[in-house]
Amino acid sequence: MILSALLTSVGINLGLCFLFFTLYSILRKQPGNVTVYGPRLIQQGGESQQTNAFNLERLLPTAGWVKRALQPTNDDILSNLGLDALVFIRVFVFCIRVFSFASVVGIFILLPVNYMGTEFEEFFDLPKKSLDSFSISNVNDGSNKLWIHFSAIYIFTAVVCYLLYYEHKYLSSKRIDHFYSSKPQPHEFTVLVSGVPLVPGNSISETVESFFREYHSSTYLSHVVVHRTDKLKALMNDAEKVYKKLIRVKSGSMSLQKSMRDGFLGMFGKKVDVVEHYEKKLEKLEDDMRLKQSLLAGEEVPAAFVSFRSRHGAAIASNIQQGIDPTEWLTEPAPEPQDVHWPFFTASFVRRWISNVVVFVAFVALIILYFIPVVLVQGLANLHQLETWFPFLKSILNIKVVSQVITGYLPSLIYQLSVMIVPPIMLLLSSMQGYISHSQIEKSACIKLLVFTVWNSFFAIVLSGSALYRVNVFLEPKNIPRVLAAAVPAQASFFISYVVTSGWTGLSSEIFRLVPLLWNFVMKLFGKEDDKDFEVPSTPFCQEIPTLLFFGLLGTTYFFLSPLILPFLLVYFCLGYVIYRNQLLNVYAAKYETGGKFWPIVHSSTIFSLVLMHVIAVGIFGLKELPLASSLTIPLPILTILFSIYCQRRFLANFKSFPTECLVNKDKADEREQNMSEFYAKLVVAYRDPAVSASRNARGISPEDPPLLRSDQG
C-alpha cells in the first residue's frame, strides 16, 4: 500500500466519524431519542424534564457532550458507576499514556531513522511512497542504526512496566477504598456451598443448617437451599407476558380491539372479551405455578447460599476446606444476588462436564473456521492475487480510486463485519460452561474473545498474508522469532488501515447507536412506543475490552517495526476515552459489579504483547544481521515475565478477595454505623430464587400489584 491509499482511507473514515459525531450531537437533543442516547439518565430520573417544545439550538451540532463527558473525576466515576467502569476508563488512560510516549519516540526518532535507512535522495514525492519506507524493513542489514531501535525497545518496555505497576497500585488501592466506602452488600456476607452430602432422613436444608450451626456457631446467620426451577421459570415467563399484555389492554394502549377470537392466532373461534381472556389465561398459569411451587420441596439441589453475620465469617467459610471429604461441602464466595446464573444449578454434574467439552471443541472449531474470512480479506488486500483468480476484474481494478478503496478500506470492513458476530457466540459458549454467575460468564467470554481476536486478527492474518501459511511454526519453538520477524512487518499497512477503519468507525458507531436508533424509530412508526418498558443496556465490557487490548497489542508489536501506526492508535484511544465516558455516563448501567476482575486480563494481555514484541525483535535483529542485538534482547522477555510474576504476587491477590484486615475493619465499622439487624433481615431473603420467591408471594395477582411478578427481572 502506498501513502496516498492510506490517506484515502484516513480521509473516508475521518469524514464518517465527523458525520456520526455531528448527527449524534443533533439527535441526542431530540426528546424522542432519549431512550436511545440516555437510558441510564431516564432510569436515574434525570433528563425527563426535557420539553418537547421546538427550538433552534436543538438542530445545531454542539460539542457540549464532550465537556460533560470529561467532567466527572475518577472518584465520581467510582462512586456513581462502580469499580468496573473505573477500570475500563483507566485502561484507556493507561493506553493513552503508553502510546503518547510511544508516538513521540516513534514519530520523532524511529520514523526518520527508518525513512533515511537506504535512500537519501528520493525525499520527494511522498504520496507515492510505499508505507514500507517508513518501516524498519527500509533500514539496511547490519546497519548500526538498528541500535536505536534496540534502545527504544528497552526504554519502551521499561515505561510500559512502570505504567502498569502504577496502574496496578492505583486500582488496587481504589478497590479497597470502594470496599470501605460501600454499604453492606449481601454477597459479602454469603458463601455458596455446593456438594452438600445427602444424609438419610434429613432434608438438604436441615443438613446445611446443622452443619453450619455446629462448625460456624458464632457467625452463621441463615441459608437458602437452591431449587430446581427451570419448569417454574418457563411458566413465570409466560405469566409475565400475559400480565404485561393485560396491563396494556386495561390501560388502553391496545384499546383498538376490545374483543378477539380465542382460536389460532386470535383469528378463529368464538369472540371473547380480551381482558377476560387474558385474566383467565393468567389464572390458569397461576394455578400451574402454585402446583409447581408446592412440588418444589422435593426438587432441592444439593447446594445452598449460606449467609453469615460478618464478612470475616463468610471469608472463613469460603477459604478453608469444610468437610473431611474434599469433594463435599465445597464453598466459594457468592456472587451478587442479581448476578446469580440460576440455570447453573439445574444442570447435573455430568451434563455440565459434557457441555464443557462441547464448548471447548466449538471454540477450537470456530477459530479454525475463521480462516475463511481471513483468507478472503487477505485476497482483497493483495489485489494482484484477486486479479489472477478473477481475470475479468482486471479492468475495473486498474481504476485508481477503486483499487485504493478496495485495498485501503474494504478488507477491514468485511473483516469487521465478520468479527461482529463473534462476541454473542462467545457469550453463548461461556454460558454453557456452568459458571454460577453472569459476571463469571462475561469474564470467561472476554478471555475467549481476546484469545480469538489475537489468534485470528493477528497471527492468522500475519501468517496467511505473508504467504507463509505456516501455522505449524508454533510446533518448532526455535523458529518462531525468525518466521514472525519475516511475516509481521509485511502486514503493517493492513493493520494501519485496520486501526483507521475498524477502530475509528467502531467508535463512532458505538456513540451513534445505529441499531437502537432504528429500532426506536420503527417502534414509534408502528405506534408501539413503550417508554416505561425499555431496558437500560448493560455495559458491554466483555466485547470492548478485547478490542481495546488487541489495539494495544498492535501498537506494542508495531512500535518499532512501523511507527506510522502509533498516531492513529493514539487518536483511537483518545476518541475512545471521550466516547466511552459519555456512554458510561448516559447509556449503560452495570447490572452487577465484578470488583475490577477485568483488570488481571488487561495485565496478562499487556505482558503478552510486550513479550511478543521482544520475540519479534529477536527475530528482526537476527534477519538484519545484527546478532549481538538479537542476543542482547533475550534478557528482556525474561525480565518482563519476572516483573509480571512480581506484579501478580504483589497485586493480584487483592483482585480476588479481601484480606482479613479490610474485612474485620469494615465489619467493625458496620457494627458502629449501620443498622445491621435491618440489613440481616434483607440478607436472609436476598438469595431466594426469584422464581420461588415470586411465585410464593404472588398469591392473588392483580394489575394493582405489579412488583410481585416483576421481581424476577433483577
CA-to-CA dists, residue 392 to 85, 388, 389, 396, angstroms: 52, 9, 9, 8
653: contact with its own copies by CB under 8 A: yes
Which range binds its own copies by CB under 8 A, 42-50, 325-333, 398-406, 692-700?
Answer: 325-333
329 or 494: whose CB is closer to its own copies?
329
Q: Which stretch binds its own copies (CB under 8 A): 466-474, 504-512, 565-573, 643-651?
A: 643-651
Please report how many Cα atoms fall inside a 13 Å half-sphere around the Cα of residue 382, on the Cβ side: 16
What phi and psi values does residue 3 have, to the nearest 5 degrees? -60, -40
Non-local (6+) Cβ contacts of 217 within 8 A are none
Rg of the chain over CA atoms, in angstroms? 29
8 Å CB contact between 684 and 221: yes
According to CB under 8 A, which one of 316, 393, 402, 632 is a site residue for its own copies? 316
The number of residues in the chain equals 714
Give the residue, chosen from 350, 649, 678, 704, that forms a contact with its own copies under the rule CB under 8 A.
649
Does 661 engage in binding with its own copies (CB under 8 A)? yes
Q: Which residues of 229-241 are buried (b: 16+ CB within 10 A; e: fewer)?
A: bebbbebbebbbe
> Which residue number, 434 or 489, has a Cβ lying nearer to its own copies?
434
Is there a contact between 240 and 709 (Cβ–Cβ < 8 Å)?
yes
The answer to whether 669 contacts its own copies (rule: CB under 8 A) is: no
In this complex, which beta carbon is closest to its own copies, that of residue 211 or of residue 409? 211
b/e per residue, 12-37, with b = 16+ CB within 10 A? bbeebbeebbebbbebbbeeebbbbb
Select from 265, 267, 320, 357 the one that contacts its own copies (CB under 8 A): 320
Alpha-carbon distance of 443 to 319, in angstroms, equals 22
Tell me the closest approach of the beta carbon of residue 664 to its own copies, in angstroms: 5
CA distances from residue 498 to 9, 167, 460, 478 in whole angstroms, order as listed: 10, 28, 15, 30
Question: Can residue 321 be called a binding residue for its own copies (CB under 8 A)?
Answer: yes
Examine residue 651 and tell whether it contacts its own copies (CB under 8 A): yes
Rounded to the nearest 10°, the torsion over CA 682, 688, 692, 695 is 20
Shortest Å, Cβ 434 to its own copies? 16
Say whether residue 347 binds its own copies (CB under 8 A).
no
- Between CA 456 and CA 438 the distance in angstroms is 26
Residue from 57, 214, 531, 704 that binds its own copies (CB under 8 A)? 214
323/516 with CB nearer its own copies: 323
Q: Which segment (149-157, 366-374, 411-419, 644-652) binds its own copies by CB under 8 A?
A: 644-652
Please identify, among the stretches 88-96, 283-291, 661-669, 704-712, the one whose residues bind its own copies according to the rule CB under 8 A: 661-669
193 in Cβ contact with 308 (< 8 Å): no
Helices (DSSP H) in 537-675: which residue ranges? 541-558, 565-586, 599-623, 627-633, 635-647, 653-656, 660-673
Judged by CB under 8 A, the stretch of 93-101, 594-602, 606-614, 648-656 that binds its own copies is 648-656
Residues 215-244 binding its own copies (CB under 8 A) are: 215-216
- Among residues 464, 490, 598, the alpha carbon closest in space to that of 544 is found at 598
Contacts with its own copies, 368-407, as mask; x by CB under 8 A: ----------------------------------------
Q: Which position among 202, 657, 674, 675 is part of the footprint of its own copies (CB under 8 A)?
A: 657
Question: What b-and-e string marks burial along 416-446, b requiring 16 or more CB atoms within 10 Å of the CB?
Answer: bebbeebbebbbebbbbbbbbbbbbbbbbbb
Query: Minimum distance from CB of 200 to its own copies (Å)?
Result: 19
Of the ranges 228-236, 375-383, 582-590, 659-667, which one interacts with its own copies (CB under 8 A)?
659-667
Nearest distance in Å: CB 178, its own copies: 13
The SS3 call for residue 619 is: helix
Q: How far is the CB of 660 from its own copies (least distance, A)?
A: 5
Least spacing, CB of residue 215 vs its own copies, in Å: 5
Q: Are 442 and 341 in contact (CB under 8 A)?
A: no
CB of 325 to its own copies, least distance (A): 7
Task: In angstroms, give the least distance from the CB of 522 to its own copies.
Answer: 52
C-alpha cell at 369: 473456521
Return phi, psi of residue 588, to 5°.
-90, 155
| The three three-digit cell numbers of residue 714, written as one number | 433483577
For position 323 contacting its own copies by CB under 8 A, the verdict is: yes
If binding is defined by CB under 8 A, does position 326 make contact with its own copies? yes
Shortest Å distance, C-beta 332 to its own copies: 14
Nearest to 436 by CA among 142, 192, 167: 192
* Residue 315 found at the interface with its own copies (CB under 8 A): yes
Closer residue to its own copies in complex, CB, 282/315 = 315
Least distance between its own copies and beta carbon 597 (Å): 16
Instruction: Provide long-range contacts, Cβ within 8 A and 24+ apart, for 673-681.
Output: 674/183, 674/184, 676/184, 679/184, 680/221, 680/309
Residues 184/275, Cβ–Cβ less than 8 Å: no
Residue 654 in contact with its own copies, rule: CB under 8 A? yes
Q: How far apart are the first and last CA of the chain?
A: 52
Of 52, 327, 395, 677, the one binding its own copies by CB under 8 A = 327
Does residue number 650 form part of the binding site for its own copies (CB under 8 A)?
A: yes
Please say which residue, 33 or 172, places its beta carbon nearer to its own copies.
172
- Our CB check for its own copies shows the closer of 173 and 255 to be 173
Stretch that binds its own copies, among 124-132, 213-221, 239-247, 704-712 (CB under 8 A): 213-221
* Segment near its own copies (CB under 8 A); pick from 221-229, 260-268, 293-301, 317-325: 317-325
Give the residue with the Cβ less far from its own copies, 57 or 214: 214
- Say which amino acid occupies 363: F
**How many chain residues bind its own copies (CB under 8 A)?**
29
Window 157-186: residues binding its own copies (CB under 8 A): 176
Site stretch for its own copies (CB under 8 A), options 312-320, 386-394, 603-611, 617-625: 312-320
What does 207-249 look like in DSSP terms, one character per residue? HHHHHHHHHSTTTEEEEEEEE--HHHHHHHHHHHHHHHHHHHH
Question: Is there binding between residue 266 and its own copies (CB under 8 A)?
Answer: no
From the list 698, 655, 552, the residue with the least C-alpha distance to 240 is: 698
**652 near its own copies (CB under 8 A):** yes
Q: Footprint of its own copies on this chain (CB under 8 A)?
A: 176, 214-216, 315-317, 319-327, 329, 649-654, 657, 659-662, 664
